[in-house]
Amino acid sequence: MRTRPLKVALLGCGVVGSEVARIMTTHADDLAARIGAPVELVGVAVRRPSKVREGIDPALITTDATALVQSGDIDVVIEVIGGIEPARTLITTAFENGASVVSANKALLAEDGAALHAAAEKYGRDLYYEAAVAGAIPLVRPLRESLAGDKVNRVLGIVNGTTNFILDKMDTSGAGYSEALDEATALGYAEADPTADVEGFDAAAKAAILAGIAFHTRVKIGDVHREGITEVTAADIASARRMGCTVKLLAICERAADGASVTARVHPAMIPLSHPLASVREAYNAVFVEAEAAGQLMFYGPGAGGSPTASAVLGDLVAVCRNKLGEATGPGESAYTRLPVSPMGEVVTRYHISLDVADKPGVLAQVATVFAEQGVSIDTVRQQGKDGEASLVVVTHRAPDAALSGTVEALRKLDTVRGVASIMRVEGE
């Protein structure tokens, strides 16, 4: 074993960063044995130096992250500060000054991953980011390495623990969205500002990263169709139950049947209770990968939190340090297919549409005519009426999303349709 330690700088010391520092200290001997050399934490960049950080030598704390990554003697920089800037500049500066980088920054990678990969390649450094997608769940490396010889056609899963917790509570307890969100916040699953989670931004960033790796093409967060869960109601959950389904926020990345394009989307969807994703409870994540040779693979586990995310960071640290010792680099960006990302309107989906309609003869015929005119085939219809008002629930066969959206707009114009109570896609069948 080499006795001279590999030097590591840590950018950020919040929930994840502090856990990374703790594991590096308490498991130092094991890490050294697995790497082939000891690792030494030589600096921790933070914004608030006065905060007490148990187990971390105060002498390591600095507010000058730029000087830390410019020092020239750092082997690996671990970036867990998040956001676009200053993280982007700090990572590229680290590459320029001889350091490889381990990051958990999904937002940055989904927005500017191509440029970061290019900078890593230019300077001969590693860029690893297992922790950016699904916490402790090994997903990036299996896609990037284990399945490198296969053709991945679809990635489907639950990649945000906060929204899964909220939807699970709405399903199991009958709670409304606001009530379930309050419980998630009280338990620490939701941030004080939960927008990134509940509006789907977090899941969309992860979908962009997964699609790019799976399909060997460049997908940015702006390419991902995004819908959150704020409009999901207890009535939607109950309606799903009547269909033998539950509601999940899904990230879906697919290669077109002709192989000429890909799609990436995040939205709530009804899935059958028989589907394995339906049983993913509370704040857990699960992802299906469908490949031509390997078939269906499922990855399941905690998708967030200090310890799970730190586990993924440390796994990357070991891999990058091994590469350093071997004077090599791991796999970089693979975007050779250059496949275009199709818009959501071209995606073929099923819809569950709940309408408030007048309870009188001929309404169903009018509604059915609208579907026929838009070229959308109806699978099932359920109608309930009382005191002159009625609810009409229509489940469609698969059709282009644009046709389904056009159908909804046409339905809104009918005099007999009082309103569209809910619209949700149906997946997993």
pLDDT in tens, 186-233: 988 898 999 999 999 999 999 999 999 999 999 999 999 999 999 999
Does the structure show a pLDDT above 90 at 264?
yes
Closest CA to 281 of 138, 165, 127: 165
**First-to-last C-alpha distance (Å) of the chain:** 53
* Total number of residues shown for the chain: 429
Phi and psi dihedrals of 69, rounded to 5?
A: -80, -15
CB atoms near residue 367 (< 10 Å):
24
Helix, strand, or coil here: 120?
helix
Does the structure show a pLDDT above 90 at 279?
yes
- pLDDT score recorded for residue 184: 93
Asked if residue 119 lies in contact with residue 99, where contact means CB atoms within 8 angstroms, the answer is: no
Beta bridge partners of 38: none
Does the structure show a pLDDT above 90 at 12?
yes
Asked if residue 255 lies in contact with residue 215, where contact means CB atoms within 8 angstroms, the answer is: yes
Does the structure show a pLDDT above 90 at 386?
no
The predicted model gives 380-393 an average pLDDT of: 80
CB atoms near residue 72 (< 10 Å):
9
Rounded Cα distance, 258 and 396, in Å? 24
Does the structure show a pLDDT above 80 at 385?
no
Asked if residue 189 lies in contact with residue 169, where contact means CB atoms within 8 angstroms, the answer is: no
* 273 alpha-carbon distance from chain centroid: 22
Percent of the chain with pLDDT over 90: 88
Does the structure show a pLDDT above 90 at 384?
no
pLDDT band at 306 (very low <50, low <70, confident <90, very high): confident
Tell whether pTM > 0.85.
Answer: yes
The predicted model gives 317-326 an average pLDDT of: 97
Positions annotated as catalytic residues are: 206
Closest CA to 102 of 69, 67, 128, 120: 128
pLDDT band at 388 (very low <50, low <70, confident <90, very high): low
